[in-house]
A and B are shown apart, each in its own frame.
Chain A
Amino acid sequence: MECKYQLKEGCMTITMPREVDHHCAEQLRKEADLLINAYRIHKLIFDFSGTEFMDSSGIGVLIGRCKSMGYQNGEVEAVNLNARVQKIFVVSGLHKLIKVAKIQTGI
């Protein structure tokens, strides 16, 4: 699974996998929580620029990380959503929980 974590001054950017489903969910949540706790992250950014597919398992991962960040009074943001991922956000109501920025166009 191609998932990258970038840390800079308490801000962590997670480059989300191409397909965010149940198969990748467990690894993603374990790794993310480990880093959130170890490095006292205060801002978490999910970068969806490489994501083509997401289902409700992905929603679970995102809500879970919002909770992890909540314990540290952190901020959570999602960026570079394509139209499909955006639709998943809207159908699930996730866009009310997570700040969405930089929406991809022309896809």
Chain B
Amino acid sequence: MNNEMCVEFDAKSVNEGFARVAVAAFLTQLNPTLDEVADVKTAVSEAVTNAIIHGYEKQEGKVILSCILKDNEVSIVVEDKGIGMADVRKAMEPFYTTKPEQERSGMGFAFMEAFMDEIFVESKPGCGTKVTMKKKIGQKEDMNQDGCGDSSY
């Protein structure tokens, strides 16, 4: 089965919940377990929060969220046209954050890696950031044993 959806919304924190629920609702077609839904929701929340806080630094902007279902795999793309990042590898280091004063834990990417199978990040300063995450649904047990699946930069 192939199916795709795309939503665009304002970079406002109130929409983080909307983004999670939208993806979760779309994902039900793959008959995911509750745990799989929760994993995907957490990863979506991290990516969308990053776009709002870091991409747009709480300024106005749009976040584009796409979700592609192909066979038993879900791909989620979270895109912003914000400030972008010069050093993606550094940004993905656990506990690294550019905003400690806002009590950012620096664990956003680590969570995405832990809860999804794969994550790709493309970013260009001044242009924005695109995060692509993939997860196989119905695989089970148990991708979380070692904390993460494959990851690439």
Contact = CB atoms under 8 A, between A and B. Distances in A.
Interface of A: 19, 21-23, 25, 29, 53, 55-57, 59-61, 63-64, 84, 87-88, 91-92
Given A22-B16, A55-B111, A84-B38, A60 B103 contact: yes
Given A55-B111, A56-B105, A22 B147 contact: no
A60 B42 contact: no
Counting chain B residues whose Cβ lies within 8 A of the other chain, the interface size class is 20 to 34
Contacts of B42: 53, 55, 88
Given A19-B17, A23-B13, A56 B103 contact: no
Interface of B: 13-14, 16-17, 20, 35, 38, 41-42, 45-46, 49, 52-53, 102-105, 107-108, 110-111, 114-115, 144, 147
B16 A60 contact: no
Nearest to B38: A84
